[in-house]
Amino acid sequence: MAVTEASLRDELKTAMRAKDQLRTRVVRNLLAAIKNKNIETGAESISESDLLAILKRETKQCRETLDAARDAGRDEMAADHVDVLAVLEGYLPKQLSEDELETAIKAIVAETGADSIGPVMKELGQRHAGGYDGKLASKVVARVLN
């Protein structure tokens, strides 16, 4: 099931009733980011692609903070961000494995005849939006094209 603004609101109510402070905090932050996007665009609701972009951005920021906390030796902060990251990743679509990614990329190259990374990555993004790690995909595309 895809995550929607309404499902996040329901999730917030459930988390608050269960006194799940971590999930409550994470969902509130997501809803605040959605509200900011709505204000920015002047829309009443958010598109699925915008919601996916927000989820990916929040997940990326959490990973970066986690890495910084680990590098600084702040174990308590790192542990908290591991938990937050687990909640955020639960809202993202299932990610393709490296083998699945390679199969998809080979199919794109065969169908389009692309011989550079840009067109392959663009087509991959259209077919599997949010379903893969961009850095891993770039490496796999480079390997397949060489």
Q: What pLDDT shows up at residue 7?
A: 92
Q: What pLDDT shows up at residue 18?
A: 97
Q: What pLDDT shows up at residue 36?
A: 93
Side chain identity at residue 18, one-letter code: A
Q: Is the pLDDT of residue 1 over 80?
A: no
Helix (H) / strand (E) containing 31: helix 21-41
CA angle in degrees (0–180, nearest 5) for 100-106-112: 135
Q: How do residues 104-139 score in pLDDT, each as one tens digit?
A: 888 888 888 878 888 888 888 888 877 787 888 888
Q: How far apart are the first and last CA of the chain?
A: 37
Lookup result for tokens 């972009």: 53
SS3 113: coil
Q: How do residues 23-67 score in pLDDT, each as one tens digit?
A: 999 999 999 999 999 999 888 888 888 888 899 899 999 999 999
Both tokens of 51, joined, read 């919601």
Domains in the chain, CATH or no CATH each = 5-91 (1.10.1510.10), 98-145 (1.10.10)
Whether pTM > 0.75 for this model: the answer is no
Phi-psi region of 42 (alpha: psi -120 to 50; beta: other; left: phi over 0): left
> For 42, which DSSP code?
T
